[in-house]
Amino acid sequence: MNPKALTRATAMTIAWVAVVTICSELSSTFKELLASIGGHHWIGKSVLSLVVFGVLYGVFAMFGNDRFSLRDTSWLIATVVLSGLAIVIFYVVHF
Amino acid sequence: MVNPLIFMHAILAEIGLFAFLWVLVELLNPTETRIERAKIAASIGAVCLLTAWLAGGFYYVEVYGSAIKPVIKASEAKWVHSIVMEVKEHVFLFLPILALLIVALLHKFDKEIIKNKDARVSIILLAGLVFLLGFSIAGMGAVISSGYRFALESGLA
């Protein structure tokens, strides 16, 4: 198990969830595409987030090193905060 | 009566969040025994959050969308769905992934956590993040319930 790759994959997946959430609200075609995965766009996002996490871990583990540091965690926490804020701000403005 | 699915969703999520608070506490001054307990707590937490995800998701798709959402959206509190619920359902997706990461880091570093400060601080910070983020989401759940009650009291149901 490569902890650095896992942390990076987590950060990228969370950023991906934020981007896909905003894009699906802006494009009804994209929202329908997500809904076609499991009958509802939220199920599509949920399933795809696990798939994206697995794929990204594989990519980062294959091409990156495994020297885990606090810096990786800091980037992850910053990504969680920024992604959460992006979702909040988007829905407030969108309303 | 409270729908059993929403009850399961809320209870399991709260048990899961407190399990990550337990992880945080165990790692403040880690020993081999405390690390073993932290691994158990993180596993319980991850299983609870994953099950809460399934229960909440099923409720959201099968019940909320057809029975609750139209009532809230027809009321003056439609922002409760359009902002609070939308944020909640998407930010919640962060939690199971973070929970799985914490379980993986605990198993990867195991006893090394005692000497590896980066690993220890990372897991403490992530467990704290899951706890805080999770209870922010629980607060959103309370706002949504209040919004629904407000809509019902407005005579729109």
Residue-number span of the structural domain to which B28 is assigned: 4-153
Could you say which of A17, A68, A91 has the minimum Cβ distance to residue B118? A68
Tell me the Ramachandran region of residue B110: left when phi exceeds 0, alpha when psi lies from -120 to 50, beta otherwise: left
User: Rounded CA gap, B139 and B137, in Å?
Assistant: 5
User: Rounded CA gap, B136 and B95, in Å?
Assistant: 12
Q: Please judge whether B119 and A88 are an interchain contact, meaning their C-beta atoms are less than 8 angstroms apart.
A: no
Instruction: Tell me what pLDDT residue A46 has.
Output: 87
**pTM metric for this prediction:** 0.92
The count of other CB atoms within 10 Å of the CB of residue A70 is: 14
A-chain residues near B118 (CB < 8 A): 68-70, 73
Closest CA to B112 of A35, A68, A81, A38: A68
Is residue A83 within 8 A of residue B93, CB to CB? The reply is no
User: Is the model's pLDDT at A66 over the cut of 80?
Assistant: no
Instruction: Tell me what pLDDT residue A37 has.
Output: 86
User: Rounded CA gap, B68 and B82, in Å?
Assistant: 13
Per the structure, how many domains does chain B have? 1
The complex's ipTM? 0.91
User: Rounded CA gap, A84 and A38, in Å?
Assistant: 24
Minimum distance, in Å, between the CA of residue B44 and any CA atom of chain A: 19
pLDDT tens profile A16-41: 999 999 999 999 999 998 888 888 88
